[in-house]
Structure 1
């Protein structure tokens, strides 16, 4: 799928999705979001795709929300502002939920500035790898608003509640080195190696059973909100499904055959 605002390429089961609005530092417009949703739905539905790498074209990862959209919101009739805002939020949350719950590993390859919604979008991925040019800022406070792309949920889980409050209350910029130290970023690499390293990591993460990966991810993503009893119960149900999967049968049969051969 190649469009003006989103590029999606698949190689060897690894999808690379590029936010392609470099002249605007990949700020998320309504049309771009529509294309982003379509691309994520395709990745989620395609069993041949085992993992996703998300990055940005040009010098930025994603500059956040589109400034033209902010201007339209200010100029809307007073009686329509609230409902228009609610409707927009539904689209934002749908997009972030698709990214966060994608049933396969997702890596954000942050090549430049990830600001506001851009920083939240990186956090919605399972893992973040950053180049030396990467930076993160939860800049919502400078616009008189709160993080609406999941930052208030994801950031405390990576850096702890007090540090998340500090970053969100100040909106200050965090460079790649500090982001790695804080745990915002999982791996650090160079700009010329960013995509290759992210794609190699995606291949490493997605070698196992796609069924087990999808079920395990869905449970792990709820761990902090669930009791031990709930996690065990969900794990039991997931394991029952795994027992019936073709991947489990093939793996066990290969293990048994290898064991039998070793005894001969």
Structure 2
């Protein structure tokens, strides 16, 4: 049953938001084109994630796709418009479009709540980049994925060149990007490209159960932990220690920390 105390998600044509307890399921909803991303869908995705991130009752987010595919990448219509644009406008128009793409990826990666990609089917190009922007990926056993950009004469533009080496290592990331080959779910989990694989019938339930496991801590502690861990590979140990000190000072003042300590002390006081 929907919790009426949770503010309604933004209205959207190509993004569907479902509330399951304290979990927001954000669904890419253009199944007739395997959820290819167009400009309107990109903005609606930003709106949905910003809503989830700023709604206190929402503790975790699941990103998935409607129909048989997760996301087939960028919409071919946008590519056609780019080719038909006047030559002297192509570069600047492309730069502006990239800004929109990167904002969409940034709201996924920067979400203060755990984000799980429930990969219900094929994730190609930008679709795979978006999945990797999530904290975790659980894939249906028949899912396929590919860094297909070079097959279109392009580079990975949705953060894949940042996220992929962190998942599979630099050498394997180069191989997957330069070959553009299709990876099956079973191989993907074995190389760390995805974290878990399950049957398609239980995918969303499994993702929700996992999300519940990841949201046992206080919202502040979860958000701060995520923010610091995301900087680990680019930071020195002293940088991370400093961020940890700042985060801990914030956690000391939260109601969740106070309640936990008081509960522990009450139990201790009653022991013989």
TM > 0.5 fold call: yes
Distance in 1 (CA, whole Å) between partners of 2:84 and 2:267 is 70
Residue of structure 2 in register with 1:137 after alignment? 146
Equivalent residues in 2 for 1:62-81 (5 A)?
Answer: 62-81=71-90
Equivalent residues in 2 for 1:119-130 (5 A)?
Answer: 119-130=128-139
Residue of structure 2 in register with 1:109 after alignment? 118
Distance in 2 (CA, whole Å) between partners of 1:149 and 1:24 is 19
1:166-205 deviations in Å (ceiling 9; x for gaps) = 0000100000000000101111100000000000100110
Provide runs of 4+ in structure 1 moved above 3 Å: none
Aligned residues: 263
Distance in 1 (CA, whole Å) between partners of 2:234 and 2:23 is 30
Residue of structure 2 in register with 1:118 after alignment? 127
Distance in 2 (CA, whole Å) between partners of 1:148 and 1:260 is 57
Distance in 2 (CA, whole Å) between partners of 1:8 and 1:262 is 48
Distance in 2 (CA, whole Å) between partners of 1:11 and 1:257 is 34
- Asked if 1:227 corresponds to 2:236, the answer is yes
- Asked if 1:10 corresponds to 2:19, the answer is yes
Residue of structure 1 in register with 2:169 after alignment? 160
Question: Which of 43, 52, 60 is the aligned partner of 1:43?
Answer: 52
Distance in 2 (CA, whole Å) between partners of 1:125 and 1:258 is 38
Distance in 2 (CA, whole Å) between partners of 1:175 and 1:169 is 17
Shift of 1:260: 1.2
Shift of 1:207: 1.4
- Asked if 1:95 corresponds to 2:104, the answer is yes
Q: Extract unaligned runs of 5+ from structure 2.
A: 1-8
- Asked if 1:236 corresponds to 2:245, the answer is yes
Residue of structure 1 in register with 2:157 after alignment? 148
| Secondary structure in structure 2 of the residue aligned to 1:60 | coil
| Secondary structure in structure 1 of the residue aligned to 2:58 | coil
Shift of 1:4: 2.7
- Aligned-residue Cα RMSD (Å) equals 0.8
Distance in 1 (CA, whole Å) between partners of 2:20 and 2:204 is 13
| Secondary structure in structure 2 of the residue aligned to 1:62 | coil
Shift of 1:9: 1.2
Residue of structure 1 in register with 2:262 after alignment? 253
**Greater alpha carbon shift after TM alignment, 105-114 vs 5-14:** 5-14
1:104-139 deviations in Å (ceiling 9; x for gaps) = 100000010000000000000000001112111000
Q: Extract unaligned runs of 5+ from structure 1.
A: none
- Asked if 1:24 corresponds to 2:12, the answer is no
- Asked if 1:184 corresponds to 2:190, the answer is no
| Secondary structure in structure 1 of the residue aligned to 2:193 | coil
| Secondary structure in structure 2 of the residue aligned to 1:107 | strand
Shift of 1:145: 0.5
Distance in 1 (CA, whole Å) between partners of 2:271 and 2:33 is 61
Distance in 2 (CA, whole Å) between partners of 1:231 and 1:129 is 28
Distance in 2 (CA, whole Å) between partners of 1:206 and 1:260 is 29
